[in-house]
């Protein structure tokens, strides 16, 4: 298993391989054969960024039975789109818009696409997956119910934190996903409980949307969610990837 991070140091952005508390810097495009250099940097010397700069962000809703709350099990993955401008990284703030009243966390496994994917069979989907990361599909519940589409509810600025790393080589169909709010465990379930597994999701999305290297696919949240307030700290931990930690802030 290899963990890749994207970071900023002294005004310069780069990718690297994370080994403990040491980053081995890379040169080139992460999704097109980047190579490690001789440069090694301490993790404490950098600011971690969102590990991918996606052209698009796709998400699946209602993909754990524990999250259905009595609703019927879906026959196909339920898709919605987020925006690249919603993506932020570890330790960035989740900023609640001034008219938002009920903003929830949703801890999830997030797939990072590694190759252009269109009409990909599920049996070959793993060939197009670079790795996985942790994500928080921040959701304003009132807007989900009232708006024509979920643009405000799911794609407002800062509503898609991801990180801290992209892990390649994990069995992404059996990872523990946990969410903590102010240190209290709120969500805990394994990805083997997904209604539609990772390969099925990637295949299904690629029927309708061409996925490009670096694109992100959120796979759904387990269990019950609750509202966040300014000052709260939300942590999404995915086994083998690390902890995505963000503080909630009020707008302006």
Phi, psi torsion values for 125, nearest 5 degrees: -60, -35
Q: For the residues 143-157, what does the mean pLDDT come to? A: 97
**69 pLDDT exceeds 90?**
no
In angstroms, the CA 66 to CA 12 distance is: 43
In angstroms, the CA 51 to CA 178 distance is: 20
The per-residue pLDDT for 126 is 98
In angstroms, the CA 182 to CA 223 distance is: 18
CATH architecture, domain defined by 2-48: Roll (2.30)
**5 pLDDT exceeds 90?**
yes
Closest to 5 in 3D by CA, of 131, 114, 108:
131
**Percent of the chain residues past pLDDT 70, beyond the cut:** 100
Fold that domain 50-250 belongs to in CATH: Fumarylacetoacetate hydrolase; domain 2 (3.90.850)
Quickly list H helices, the chain. Answer: 141-146, 151-155, 198-208
Phi, psi torsion values for 31, nearest 5 degrees: -95, 10
Q: For the residues 45-58, what does the mean pLDDT come to? A: 98
The DSSP code sequence of 164-196 is EEEEES--TTS-EEEEEETTEEEEEEEGGGBSS
Split at pLDDT 50, 70, 90, the class of 252 is confident
Q: For the residues 195-213, what does the mean pLDDT come to? A: 98
Residue ranges of domains in the chain:
2-48, 50-250
pLDDT per residue as tens digits for the range 215-227: 999 999 999 999 9
Using the 8-state DSSP alphabet, how is residue 99 labeled?
Answer: T
The DSSP code sequence of 61-82 is ES-BGGGTTTPPPPSS-EEEEE
**250 pLDDT exceeds 90?**
yes
pTM score > 0.95 for this model? yes
Split at pLDDT 50, 70, 90, the class of 171 is very high
Q: Are 45 and 10 in contact (CB under 8 A)?
A: no
């Amino acid at each position: 298993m290899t963990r890749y991070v994207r970071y900023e140091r002294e005004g310069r952005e780069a990718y690297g391989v994370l080994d403990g508390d040491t980053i081995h810097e890379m040169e080139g495009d992460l999704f097109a054969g980047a190579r490690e250099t001789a440069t090694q940097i301490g993790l404490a010397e950098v600011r971690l960024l969102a590990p991918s700069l996606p052209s698009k962000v796709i998400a699946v809703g209602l993909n754990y039975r524990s999250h259905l709350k009595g609703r019927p099990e879906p026959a196909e993955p339920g898709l919605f789109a987020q925006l690249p401008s919603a993506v932020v990284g570890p330790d960035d703030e989740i900023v609640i818009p001034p008219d938002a009243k009920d903003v929830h966390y949703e801890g999830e496994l997030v797939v990072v696409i590694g190759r252009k994917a269109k009409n990909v069979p599920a049996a070959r989907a793993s060939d197009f997956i670079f790795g996985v990361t942790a994500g928080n599909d921040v959701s304003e519940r009132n807007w989900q119910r009232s708006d024509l589409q979920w643009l405000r509810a799911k794609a407002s600025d800062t509503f898609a934190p991801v990180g801290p790393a992209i892990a390649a080589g994990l069995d992404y169909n059996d990872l523990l996903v946990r969410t903590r709010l102010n240190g209290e465990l709120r969500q805990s379930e394994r990805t083997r409980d997904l209604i539609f597994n990772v390969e099925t999701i990637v295949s299904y999305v690629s029927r309708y949307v061409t996925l490009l290297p670096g694109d992100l696919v959120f796979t759904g949240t387990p269990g019950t969610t609750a509202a966040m307030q300014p000052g709260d700290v939300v942590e999404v931990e995915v086994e083998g990837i690390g902890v995505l930690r963000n503080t909630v802030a009020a707008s302006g």
